[in-house]
Structure 1
Amino acid sequence: MIFYFILGLSVAALILEGKCRNIVLSLALMFHVLNLHFGFKYPDFAYPLSYEERWMDTISSFLIVAVFIIAVIIIMTVEYGKEHKKVVSHAEELNQQAITDNLTQLYNQRYLMENIKKIVEAQHSQQSCVSIVLFDIDDFKRINDTYGHLRGNQVLCRLAVILQEKAGDKYIAARYGGEKIMLILSGCTRDMAMQFAEMIRLDVYHDAVLAELTCNQFSVSGGVTQYKRSMSIDDWIRQTDKNLYVAKENGKNRIKG
């Protein structure tokens, strides 16, 4: 009777999941250990069988326990694998949140600066070129004041979507701050970056969604700078910001480098 009770607990443990399975497994193992202990200590009472029958019954019990333990190990391994995947997935999600701008879903400034630092360090040992483009929405304050900050956020998010599409997997697009978005163009000279930035400027200028959101009054200006080994990170960004300022001072809706 006890054997069948233990076997029933074992089967139930295989069906259940989570904490319930662990509890039932613990009970089954506990009852089985008690049953074996009682059987060996009081064999005549526990097993009113002949010596040969008792010996075969003991061997069968050990075999059942062995199979059961193997099944438990397999189940626990599978469960551990599932939990491990959940932990890894959650960690990846947290890491992605830590490097992503909440509004635009572009990379944030933290991720941007970490990558610029890596790129600058790599430039001292490589012969490749890299440029950055800093875009700024023209008259963004007017958009917010005229249509409200909600509309301003929609405009910024739409621009972010376009820049992310243009950047693809090859380049890095990140929100630098406010309405400024920076692109890191690995493998691009100044002239190549200027052409790329100009293409983007024209695309956003003629974008139907941005035109509707701003009543055909949307444009961006951009500053471009190619990295030189004599530059520090601050110098590189500062020069790009100066080029952006020149573009603004010269009528906006243009790229300077």
Structure 2
Amino acid sequence: MKQPNQSLEAHIHALLEDPAQQDNPLREPLVSLWANHQDLARRIDRISRISDAYQSMAKQQEQSLTERLNKQLRQLEKVARISDRYQNMMRDLNEALREASTHDALTGLPNRRLLVDRLKKEAERYARYQRPFTIAMLDVDHFKTINDQYGHELGDSALTEIARVLDAEIREQDLCGRWGGEEFLILLPETQADAAAKVMERVRTAIENLTIRAQTDSVNATISIGIAEYQPGESYSETINQADHALLVAKRGGRNQLSTARAPSGA
């Protein structure tokens, strides 16, 4: 008889081993059933091992795929960062090249190229809308003497400081640039010669009161100014020539002063 602590399989095994049960008509079906049970148990165990192995392999493949995907994402992020840095570098380089092509390296003011471009546009605007504009040519008085007496370092400092004052004293709509050497050009849009003269007198006074220092040396400088208002039918180059001529008159008149070109009769 089955004991309380005896498992079912142990009980069946005991029955099959019991000699007293050899003639029991249920023994053969029990043997067959027991054999089928063990075969089924082995199959279930094999299927379980296969399933466990498959799940383990699938998990490893999933982890491997995730790792590869994460690695590719990290590589793409790295490429994106490199691309962003490259684009920023190219943008900064293009900006630097544009700045270098349109601005003077020493003073930082617009150079002749940018000034000419703006002068062309002002002349075209006059042709369409008859809006006046005036050109002022400025030259540092006795600049060669400053260079010869104090050296080119102070000469460069003088040009830099004068450029700073010019840019600060003109109006927001005006454009001041370095025309070449110690010569500057100021474009005054929407301005006739008399109004331009008032602005330029303020500029001349500011330069006269400027003290330029370089190490232990200091020097004062003055400027001469020629003014010319654009006239109908002439080119901007002719207006520049008129301002140049007025500048020569100011220098011949004693320097540190301004002179305005006369408008042609009938203008």
Task: Give TM-score, length-normalised by structure 1.
Answer: 0.71
Residue in 2 aligned with 1:203?
206
Superposed, 1:97-136 pairs within 5 Å as 97-136=100-139
Residue in 1 aligned with 2:192?
189
Give the 3-state SS of the residue equivalent to 1:70 in structure 2.
Answer: helix
- After TM superposition, the runs of 4+ consecutive aligned structure 1 residues lying more than 6 A away are none
Residue in 1 aligned with 2:85?
82
Which of residues 130, 134, 138 is equivalent to 2:141?
138
Do structure 1's residue 72 and structure 2's residue 75 form an aligned pair? yes
Give the 3-state SS of the residue equivalent to 2:195 in structure 1.
Answer: helix
Rounded to whole Å, the distance in 2 between the matches of 1:126 and 1:139 is 40
Give the 3-state SS of the residue equivalent to 1:183 in structure 2.
Answer: strand
Q: What are the superposed Cα offsets for residues 193-251 of structure 1, whole Å, 9 maximum, x if unpaired?
A: 110001111111122338x833x5x3211011222341212101101101111112222
Superposed, 1:1-257 pairs within 5 Å as 50-167=53-170, 170-209=173-212, 213-214=218-219, 218-257=221-260
Q: Give 1:179 deviation, angstroms.
A: 1.3
Distance 1:57 1:141, change over 3 A: closer
Q: Give 1:127 deviation, angstroms.
A: 4.1
Give the 3-state SS of the residue equivalent to 1:213 in structure 2.
Answer: strand
Give the 3-state SS of the residue equivalent to 1:133 in structure 2.
Answer: strand
Rounded to whole Å, the distance in 1 between the matches of 2:112 and 2:205 is 25
Rounded to whole Å, the distance in 2 between the matches of 1:153 and 1:160 is 11
Residue in 1 aligned with 2:22?
none
Task: Give TM-score, length-normalised by structure 2.
Answer: 0.68
Q: What are the superposed Cα offsets for residues 43-101 of structure 1, whole Å, 9 maximum, x if unpaired?
A: xxxxxx72343234323332333333233323322221122111211221122122222
Distance 1:149 1:63, change over 3 A: closer
The answer for unaligned runs of 5 or more in structure 1 is 1-48
Q: Give 1:168 deviation, angstroms.
A: 6.6
Rounded to whole Å, the distance in 1 between the matches of 2:178 and 2:185 is 6
Rounded to whole Å, the distance in 2 between the matches of 1:175 and 1:206 is 21
Distance 1:255 1:78, change over 3 A: same
RMSD: 2.4
Letter in 2 for 1:144: N
Residue identity over aligned pairs, in percent, reads: 26
Q: Give 1:159 deviation, angstroms.
A: 1.1
How many residues align? The count is 206
Residue in 1 aligned with 2:25?
none
Letter in 2 for 1:85: N
